[in-house]
Homo-oligomer: A and B are copies of this chain.
């Protein structure tokens, strides 16, 4: 499929897809007319990139995560080690997101649209501080 279709399916702008090719995150075929030709597997990679980028992983982290699947040379123990490190990070992100959601929910429910309470919501938004001091 052409880049337009790949863009629509992956949720990434065509510009970004070309950029990801530039930095070696995927290498789609080329059709006879010079157009890029994306396979479903390419689209899966792109969709994965869209997701993990939007969840705050860097491009290099995404590259690493993608390599868990794609790199036939890679040792299994190595794959496992990388995945486990990422799992810890994901769990942290999950609990932070959950906290943020709960705080916003509280704000929405305690704020009926007429008069905003002057509660220290920032404390909720910022999580438990390192030291109360």
Contact = CB atoms under 8 A, between A and B. Distances in A.
B126 A47 contact: yes
B100 A43 contact: no
Interface residues of A, number: 61
A9 B41 CA distance: 43
Given A45-B122, A54-B93, A94-B94, 13 more contacts: A8-B130, A45-B126, A48-B126, A51-B126, A56-B56, A68-B104, A68-B107, A69-B125, A76-B116, A77-B114, A79-B111, A80-B113, A87-B104
Interface of A: 8-9, 40-41, 43-48, 51-56, 65-66, 68-70, 74-77, 79-80, 83-84, 86-87, 90-91, 93-94, 96-98, 100-101, 104-105, 107-108, 111-116, 120-123, 125-127, 129-131, 133
B80 A111 contact: yes
B90 A94 contact: no
